[in-house]
Amino acid sequence: MNSPISTRQQDAVLVIEVNRPDKLNALNAQTLDALKAAFEQAAGDDTVRVVVLTGAGPKAFVAGADISEMADLSPAQARDFSLRGQKMMRAMETMPKPVIGMINGFALGGGLELAMACHIRVAADTAKLGQPEINLGLIPGFGGTQRLLRLAGRAATLELCLLGAPISAARALELGIVNRVVAADQLESETFAIAAQLAASAPLALRGMLDAINIGGECAIEEGLQFESSQFGLMFSTEDMREGTQAFLQRRKPTFSGK
């Protein structure tokens, strides 16, 4: 059986592509499992510093969950499918390395949920995003209600989930759902420029920031501040911190080793 994803590595940047263009890259159980395995492998691979996630073909990032696989699930099976998707996206969201979502087309339902679990989202100006589950008599099941609430706030979350209509990339930018919107023919170059900048940054500092932001988003501010201080202090044990500060003082570009 062909893999539902493909991977390729360019220097320190790993590209993971959902590769089901005939299904608009819809997420079925096999795809969720393959993505989870790919992110877990990338997390432990020292040659990978940044991951770019995208979808194959000209139409879709990921158009949603695979309705043909979902339609006949029992309530218990549906709950398990939801948990499967949530675990996959949580594994990506808690990655110790930055994940950039390169949104090249439709990001609907499970596709928007997948995009929102990325750390940075760059969208083509032609992309459409939304949570249309209401039109199927469903609710989002891969974390959409929770991540959208944290990114865009209550009013926007209620609008997108209750009405189910897709929005433009420009509107998604206004709501804080994506970080940048670029011309479709510049999407790859703009995304890889960000990836290259991150790949040249200090990996341990990137990990410390990702951890601090993830922890801080889920706890009281006092706990978040304490965790930030511990991570800040930990950076002073790294060779990268010495390299970064010396490079600044010597007015040169730093070279970070990840140690």
pLDDT tens digit sequence for 235-257: 999 999 998 999 899 999 999 98
2 confidence band (pLDDT: 50, 70, 90): confident
Domains located in the chain, CATH noted: 5-199 (3.90.226.10), 203-249 (1.10.12.10)
- Tokens 């020292």 belong to residue: 46
Ramachandran area for residue 133 (φ above 0: left; ψ -120 to 50: alpha; else beta): alpha
- pLDDT (0 to 100) of residue 218: 85
Summarize the confidence of residues 138-163 as an average pLDDT.
Answer: 96
pLDDT at 101 exceeding the cut of 70: yes
> How far, in Å, are 69, 206, 224, 240 from residue 215 at the CA level?
34, 14, 6, 23
Distance, in Å, from the CA atom of 29 to the CA atom of 248, rounded to the nearest integer, reads 48
- For the segment 11-35, the average pLDDT, to the nearest whole number, is 96
pLDDT at 219 over 90: no
pLDDT at 96 over 90: yes
pLDDT tier at 217, thresholds 50, 70, 90: confident
At 1 the pLDDT is 61
Active-site residue, from 17, 40, 133, 222: 133
Span 112-139, average pLDDT:
97
Catalytic: 113? yes
Percent of the chain with pLDDT over 90: 92
3-state secondary structure of 58: coil
What value does the mean pLDDT take over residues 54-72? Answer: 93
Residue 102 CB partners (closer than 8 Å, separation 6+): 52, 53, 54, 61, 122, 187, 188, 191
pLDDT over 70 (residue 54): yes
**Cα–Cα distance for residue pair 181/25, rounded to 1 Å:** 21
Q: Which pLDDT belongs to residue 142?
A: 96
Two tokens, residue 206: 């990137």
Active-site entry in 113, 174, 218, 222: 113
Mean pLDDT of all residues in 12-33: 96
User: For residue 133, which of 157, 115, 101 has the smallest C-alpha distance?
Assistant: 157
